[in-house]
């Protein structure tokens, strides 16, 4: 099978490429502009195309070469705060970039798309905890709006052109290779500060919650989605467990043996107060459930960043 992974040099994308190659899924190509992703994270067995999704002609050229049967669309402008500050840029990358990709690919044998949506920003302030995929969609950031719009476009392409898809609504993904951007980037930011033995700043009172899901678990869901016969669905990929930022910091500070309390600053715009998603549909449709406990995942993540720091010193 011919596979194209967008954002394959990024945090989740590079792990997904590794897993797809290890599973023998097919011939894997990567499309990434490396604005945030790192070329040295890309598995050497993958073919790399350095291309910006906003460049329709360049994207078409890559698609004509790869002729992907399945696309894992993981490339994104993933910073919620930047989307609030610059909604047009967010839409250019996350909406127009997607349309450039799928318009080219539908003409060259595309059969299926696995899309990395959001299980936090797409719902907005929740009415139920954890929420299912049927919860009202009330995104409070342009980032969430763009993800919701892409899901709607995927439905259109399924109806109009018969292209199967699954939209995986990720919780706050964390783990090795995490980039300190976007909402889940708080963990890598905390790790960096703790390794520098510097005070950590928490925006807001720290009682805001998120559903933190380990990247290894997420990648298992991505691979399962490529093999599943399910189509036309949104599927939450999370733990169903809320963790507030104060507790997150306390756990990491304990791992780092750093006794200093966090400092607090005013909250930032576009962020939800509480976010936690039910993984029940993922278990039913993909046979997937989260395995990594948060404390264990945080310890592995901190160890990774420490090893990276030690390697550079």
CA distance 198 to 25: 44
Phi/psi of residue 92, each to 5°?
A: -60, -40
Tokens of 268: 């930032």
Q: Return the sign of the alpha-carbon dihedral for residues 25, 26, 27, 29.
A: negative
CA distance 153 to 99: 8
CA distance 256 to 248: 12
Q: For residue 32, give the 3-state DSSP assignment.
A: strand
CA distance 239 to 285: 16
Q: For residue 179, give the 3-state DSSP assignment.
A: coil
CA distance 206 to 158: 41
Q: For residue 115, give the 3-state DSSP assignment.
A: strand
For helices 142-161 and 97-106, the axis angle rounded to 10 degrees is 10
Among the listed residues 143, 157, 174, 249, the single catalytic one is: 143
The CA distances from residue 173 to 113, 117, 169, 188, 230, in Å, are 20, 12, 11, 11, 23
245 Rama sector, left if φ>0, alpha if ψ -120 to 50, beta otherwise: alpha
Active site residue 143: yes
CA distance 151 to 122: 10
Instruction: Find tokens 């127009």 and name the residue.
Output: 96
CA distance 146 to 96: 10
Question: Which residues participate in catalysis according to the annotation?
Answer: 143
């Amino acid at each position: 099978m011919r596979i194209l992974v967008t954002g394959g040099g990024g945090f989740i994308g590079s792990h997904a490429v590794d897993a797809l190659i290890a599973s023998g899924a097919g011939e894997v190509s990567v499309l990434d502009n490396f604005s945030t992703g790192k070329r040295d994270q890309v598995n050497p067995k993958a073919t790399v195309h350095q291309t910006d999704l906003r460049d329709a002609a360049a994207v078409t050229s890559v698609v004509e070469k790869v002729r992907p049967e399945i696309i894992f669309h993981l490339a994104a402008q993933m910073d919620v705060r930047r989307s609030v500050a610059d909604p047009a840029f967010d839409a250019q990358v996350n909406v127009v970039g997607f349309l450039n990709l799928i318009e080219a690919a539908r003409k060259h044998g595309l059969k299926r798309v696995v899309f990395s949506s959001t299980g936090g920003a797409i719902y907005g302030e929740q009415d139920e905890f954890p929420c299912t995929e049927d919860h009202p969609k009330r995104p409070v950031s342009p980032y969430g709006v763009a993800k919701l719009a892409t899901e709607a476009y995927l439905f259109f392409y399924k109806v109009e052109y018969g292209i199967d898809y699954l939209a995986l609504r990720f919780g706050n993904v964390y783990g090795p290779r995490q980039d300190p951007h976007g909402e889940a980037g708080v963990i890598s930011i905390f790790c960096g500060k703790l390794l520098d033995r510097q005070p950590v700043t928490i925006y807001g009172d720290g009682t805001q919650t998120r559903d933190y899901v380990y990247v290894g678990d997420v990648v298992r869901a991505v691979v399962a989605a490529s093999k599943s016969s399910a189509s036309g669905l949104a599927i939450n990929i999370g733990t169903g467990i809320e963790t507030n930022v104060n507790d997150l910091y306390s756990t990491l500070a304990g791992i780092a043996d750093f006794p200093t309390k966090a400092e607090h600053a005013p909250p930032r715009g576009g962020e939800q107060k509480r976010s936690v998603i039910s993984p029940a549909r993922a278990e039913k449709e993909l046979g997937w459930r989260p395995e990594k406990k948060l404390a264990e995942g945080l310890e592995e993540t901190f160890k990774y960043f420490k090893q990276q720091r030690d390697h550079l010193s």
